[in-house]
Amino acid sequence: MTLSKPMTTTKITQSEAHDLLVELVETPSVSGNEEDCADLLVSFFEERDREAWIDDAGNVHAPGNGILLTSHIDTVPGEIPVELDDGVLWGRGSVDAKGPLTAMAVIAFETGASFVGVVGEETDSRGARHLVENYAEPNFVVNGEPSGWDALTLGYRGFMSGTYSVSVESTHTSRPEANAIQHAVGWLSAVESAFDSDADSVFKSVTAKPVSFDGGLAADGLTTEAEVEVQFRIPPGTTADEICEIADAELEAGSVSWNEAIPPTMASPRTELSRAFRVAIRGEDGDPSLLRKTGTSDANIYAEAWDCPVVTYGPGDSSLDHTPDEHIELAEFDESVAVLSGVCESLEGKP
């Protein structure tokens, strides 16, 4: 895909930016159902004579120059009444990640940067995977996730998941032989113990987290069955294969089916992109800080696929991600718009 710089001369007013943010937050977009929000973003660009379209994965594209601003459209489930009160916007997705998404759409229009709103980040990252397979490598990537307006995220742990399944012949509950539920609980406990770490931070540790558990007597009454879905976070210096090997070694019964992993990432603070953010944050009277997050984002996928600087930035308090109290301050959103503007203007035309 050829990157081209569109003609953009009109600024987006603060009121227009706030209206777009509120409208996106008001429009539900749980993973798998992002279409309505995607249409809103396309309309935002087309109404201002900027080319925009939706690809086969459902991502929204507004082609521009070699600076790619990208954030995700989807949210986790959970209905939070949308309310704008005293400069604070409440609602699902206000922080993760429609605040960053809106700021990027506004600045992409104003500066001619490329914009892509991706789908599926909260589930399988299908939008990001489609993007790296079909999009020309940009010069710089800014991934939109909440970092706070005066901070820049450089590192994320990786991610992998697996499903443990076991089936054993049923016995009377008075017997000492382990049933399937006991096997599953025992394996999970052994795995958690195997990854106990004396690392000085969570970022440097492997963590295992069960996210679903199902078990009991099978319908035929002849076996007991259990199934556990487990997610692992992978720190830099550890591979998914190493985690699989350790977890498989703890098996006494049953088996684990593993899904495709996302590797960890750690960007340099000395790239031109990182420096541009520090300068822009200071230009808004901020004291820039550099973050490493214990979760995973689409930045991991971009950093693995593309040989260009990748950082993550966006307004909002990430501790509010996925919570019933999700909200964002419009003043912080405005600061992030100013920072992104400064970054894109300083990098424009640079290879």
**What proportion of the chain, given as a percentage, has pLDDT over 90?**
94
What would the pLDDT profile of 276-309 be if each residue is shown by its tens digit?
Answer: 999 999 999 999 999 999 999 999 999 999 999 9
Tokens of 215: 């078990």
Q: Are 304 and 293 in contact (CB under 8 A)?
A: no
* Segment 192-198 mean pLDDT: 85
Domain ranges, ordered by start, for the chain: 14-156+265-347, 158-258
Residue among 74, 225, 326, 329 flagged as catalytic = 74
Query: According to the model, what pLDDT value does residue 197 have?
Result: 76
Task: Check whether 311 has a pLDDT greater than 90.
Answer: yes
Please tell me the total number of residues recorded for the chain in this structure: 351
Q: Is 229 a catalytic residue?
A: no
Band of pLDDT at residue 10, cut at 50, 70 and 90: confident
Distance separating alpha carbons of residues 323 and 29, to the nearest angstrom: 16
Band of pLDDT at residue 3, cut at 50, 70 and 90: very low
Band of pLDDT at residue 198, cut at 50, 70 and 90: confident
* Segment 202-212 mean pLDDT: 94
Task: Check whether 342 has a pLDDT greater than 90.
Answer: yes
Tokens of 49: 């004579």
**What proportion of the chain, given as a percentage, has pLDDT over 70?**
97
Distance separating alpha carbons of residues 216 and 214, to the nearest angstrom: 7
Q: Is 121 a catalytic residue?
A: yes
* Segment 176-195 mean pLDDT: 95
Task: Check whether 8 has a pLDDT greater than 60.
Answer: no
Task: Check whether 41 has a pLDDT greater than 60.
Answer: yes
Query: According to the model, what pLDDT value does residue 281 have?
Result: 98
Task: Check whether 232 has a pLDDT greater than 90.
Answer: yes
Question: Per the confidence metrics, is the pTM higher than 0.85?
Answer: yes
Of 81, 72, 76, the residue nearest 31 (C-alpha) = 76
Distance separating alpha carbons of residues 324 and 339, to the nearest angstrom: 28
Query: According to the model, what pLDDT value does residue 45 have?
Result: 98
Query: According to the model, what pLDDT value does residue 6 have?
Result: 44
Query: According to the model, what pLDDT value does residue 1 have?
Result: 40
Band of pLDDT at residue 231, cut at 50, 70 and 90: very high
* Segment 79-88 mean pLDDT: 97
Query: According to the model, what pLDDT value does residue 4 have?
Result: 45
Task: Check whether 260 has a pLDDT greater than 50.
Answer: yes
Radius of gyration of the chain (CA): 22
Domain 158-258 in CATH 2.40.37.10 = no
Query: According to the model, what pLDDT value does residue 222 have?
Result: 96
Band of pLDDT at residue 344, cut at 50, 70 and 90: very high
Query: According to the model, what pLDDT value does residue 235 have?
Result: 95
Residue among 55, 96, 110, 121 flagged as catalytic = 121
Query: According to the model, what pLDDT value does residue 114 have?
Result: 98
Task: Check whether 122 has a pLDDT greater than 80.
Answer: yes
Q: What is the mean pLDDT of the chain?
A: 95
Query: According to the model, what pLDDT value does residue 5 have?
Result: 43
* Segment 221-248 mean pLDDT: 96
> What CATH number should be reported for the domain whose range is 14-156+265-347?
3.40.630.10
Task: Check whether 9 has a pLDDT greater than 60.
Answer: no
